[in-house]
Chains A and B, each alone.
Chain A
């Protein structure tokens, strides 16, 4: 009967009321007072209808942004900003605010990039650094995660190495390059040592902060459901700490990349091959200013690209699934 009801067609005495949720409510039949089953059922149906209405009114609308909106709100602003910087650069060159060897024309920097590409070196240089950076980051991840868990949950460990761990974060990783070269020699090992010393404290601290911010209510709720010890860590503590952990990973990557560049710029050896840092240092030695600027721009570009392609999507997913992202409100 639902959906077919039109006033006037159906006889008035047997009109059924079709409610928004699709259930059909029979009208109260007159002359049957005191039926014990009827009031309860009636009340139950009233309640179901009321509840469906409330749910519809209160439902939180999740609006997904359209591709066009993404383009206008997310892609356009940075493109415009970069264009403005290029224009400003060009204007400064035209105005001859300083000597050519200090501020070369953007075109010369582009030419330097083209040359690298034509000589087939571009990909090698970038890959040498990126592979080192990502591999070092993965090792740091494997070390920092258990370390962070132990520091967060074991009081005595926390009291002992917690402050050292946060202190290490503020130590510039360039400081580690000299001792790393002396201990390990001019080789890949030394590069990874510098990356680890930069990234491990950062990732571990992120996890500790994430665990500290887990609302105690979740742990209590978990306990009443029967989750204790490792079961609680797996099902409650770690998932609850995930946003802080992901933020730590992002920062850990930034530290890995920075540490690696410091190591590459300072430590030079034919054994090591040419990465972005060495390229920058080589161009400085050749007094090739366009090459130096190209080196800096490429280091920046790779850092941003990894962040946007790897970490931003992970972070967005974690936050959106929990309703913590502004655009999901």
Chain B
């Protein structure tokens, strides 16, 4: 045993104890360590997230499930660095994660293609490479002909696919999704579930998907994490080992959904008692 190795090990142990492992640590795409978040003035602060610890492995698809007030969106904002935790640490070794919202959030003054090119430009992609890359991403979401389309000329499902392409344009190893399909009709949502599963397996991106729809979570995820409400805590986790491609109507999806829904309802009932 060389002395150099010992020091290295000791350093790592120290870093891990402090909850601040360096980016060299490749064991997680997202590492959330004992995160607390409260809003309001100190003293009268309302806790929103309470001691959340969660790791997303590289290439993993995790769904965060919870009723209103579980702090799902707050958690995504913290991971996306749009807000800071009150306590605890969040590491995203692969750099700034991409974020997709419930609303498409496409810029209406740009075409579909230019929306994607703006993301590429802000990432530092040279001008000459932007157009081909934007067209490749549109092909990926099966919207090859939509480059010159304005946002208002696209349907709701098409807008979310362009938004997905724009998020992928950030070339981030982590994709955060904040109820991206909640506002879509059931048929379109079903199709986009299929598309997301396909794109996830093609790109190998890690996905952290927030939803209040249990079946959606079971349809998509490798792992479902249930959060309690007010404040948000991790209640339970389920590994979903139903093989893909799944369908939302599959019996196995339904069975697990029933089990998770029961647990979720129990969590919600707890709030009626006091």
Contact residues of A with B, CB < 8 Å? 39-40, 43-44, 47-48, 50-52, 54-55, 58-60, 62, 217-218, 220-221, 223-227, 231, 235-236, 239-240, 242, 321-323, 328
**7 new A-B contacts at CB < 8 Å, known A225-B122, A227-B122:** A43-B194, A54-B155, A55-B143, A218-B107, A221-B107, A225-B166, A323-B150
In the complex the two chains form, is B118's CB within 8 Å of A218's CB?
no
Contact A220 B118 (CB under 8 A): no
| In the bound complex, CA of A184 to CA of B150 (Å) | 51
Residue contact B157 to A54, C-beta cutoff 8 Å: yes
| Contact in complex: B150, A321 (CB < 8 Å) | yes
A60 to B152, CA, bound (A): 8
Of the residues A44, A59, A223, contact of B82 by C-beta under 8 Å: A223
30 A-B residue contacts at CB 8 Å? A40-B245, A43-B245, A44-B198, A47-B191, A51-B191, A51-B195, A54-B155, A54-B191, A55-B143, A55-B155, A58-B158, A59-B153, A59-B155, A60-B153, A217-B101, A221-B99, A221-B105, A224-B80, A224-B99, A224-B170, A225-B118, A225-B119, A226-B122, A235-B118, A242-B109, A321-B150, A322-B150, A322-B151, A322-B152, A323-B150
B87 within 8 Å of A by Cβ? Answer: no
Q: When chains A and B are docked, how far (Å) is the Cα of A223 from the Cα of B81?
A: 9
Tell me how far the C-beta of B148 lies from the nearest C-beta in chain A, rounded to whole angstroms.
12
Inter-chain contacts of B110 with A (CB < 8 A): 239
Closest to B188 in A: A54
Chain B, Cβ-Cβ closest to A47: B194
Please report the C-alpha to C-alpha distance between residue A18 and residue B4 in the assembled complex, in whole angstroms.
67
Is there an interface contact between A220 and B82, defined as CB atoms closer than 8 Å? yes
CB-based A-B contact count at 8 angstroms: 92
B107 near A217 with CB under 8 A, answer no
Contacts A48-B142, A242-B109, A322-B150; A226 near B123 (Cβ below 8 A): yes
Within the assembled complex, what's the spacing in Å between the Cα atoms of A244 and B187? 37
Cα separation A51 to B156 with both chains bound (whole Å):
12
Give Cα distance in the complex from A55 to B188, angstroms.
9
Chain A hits for B143, CB < 8 A? 55
Judge whether A58 and B150 touch: CB under 8 Å. no
Are A323 and B105 within 8 A (Cβ)?
no
A223-B82, A226-B123, A227-B122 known; A322+B108 contact, CB < 8 A: yes
Kindly supply a per-residue 1/0 record for chain B positions 157-195, scoring 1 wherever the CB is within 8 Å of any chain A CB and 0 otherwise.
Answer: 110000000100010000000000000000110010011
Q: Which residues of B contact A54 (CB under 8 A)?
A: 155, 157, 187-188, 191
Question: What is the 8 Å Cβ interface bit string for chain B, positions 85-107, against chain A (1 contact, 0 not)?
Answer: 00000000000101101010101
Of the listed residues B110, B157, B191, the one surrounded by the most CB atoms of chain A closer than 10 A to its CB is B191
Note all chain A residues with C-beta closer than 8 A to B142.
48, 51-52
B96 x A321 contact (CB < 8 A):
no
List of B residues within 8 angstroms of A47 by Cβ = 191, 194-195, 198
The CA-CA distance from A114 to B184 in the complex, in Å, is 65
Contact A322 B118 (CB under 8 A): no
Residue of A nearest to B109 (CB): A239
In the complex, what distance in Å separates the CA atom of A242 from the CA atom of B245? 45
Any A CB within 8 A of the CB of B154: yes
Residues of B within 8 A of A322 (CB): 108-109, 150-152
Chain A residues with Cβ under 8 A from B155's Cβ? 54-55, 58-60
CA distance A323 to B153 in the complex (A): 8
Residue of A nearest to B245 (CB): A43
Closest to A320 in B: B150
Contacts of B122 in A (CB 8 A): 225-227, 231, 235
Q: Complex formed: what's the CA distance from A328 to B108 in Å?
A: 14
Nearest chain-A residue to B151 (Cβ)?
A: A323
A44–B202 CA distance with the chains assembled, in angstroms: 12
**A321 and B118 within 8 A (CB):** no
Within the assembled complex, what's the spacing in Å between the Cα atoms of A43 and B245? 8
The CA of A113 and the CA of B70, in the complex, are separated in Å by 75
9 closest Cβ pairs, A-B complex: A323-B152, A58-B155, A221-B105, A322-B108, A224-B99, A226-B122, A239-B109, A47-B194, A43-B245
Residues A58 and B156 in contact in the complex (CB < 8 Å), given A51-B142, A220-B105: yes
- Cα of A221 to Cα of B122 in the assembled complex, Å: 12
Complex CA–CA separation, A48 to B142 (angstroms): 8
Residue among B96, B150, B152 making CB contact with A224, cutoff 8 Å: B96
In the complex the two chains form, what is the Cα distance from A108 to B245 in whole Å? 84
Nearest chain B CB to A23 CB, angstrom units: 11
Contacts of A323 on B, CB cut-off 8 Å? Answer: 108, 150-153
Query: In the complex, what's the smallest C-beta–C-beta distance from B151 to chain A, in angstroms?
Result: 7
Min C-beta distance of B92 to chain A, whole Å: 12
Q: Tell me how far the C-beta of B171 lies from the nearest C-beta in chain A, rounded to whole angstroms.
A: 11
Instruction: Specify which chain A residues have a CB less than 8 angstroms from the CB of B80 in the assembled complex.
Output: 224
Q: Which residues of B contact A225 (CB under 8 A)?
A: 118-119, 122-123, 166, 170
**Residues of A contacting B96 in the complex (Cβ-Cβ under 8 angstroms):** 224, 226
Question: In the complex, A227→B153 CA distance in Å?
Answer: 26
Known: A55-B158, A221-B101, A322-B108. A50 touches B153 (CB 8 A): no
A221 cross-chain contacts in B, Cβ below 8 A: 99, 101, 105, 107
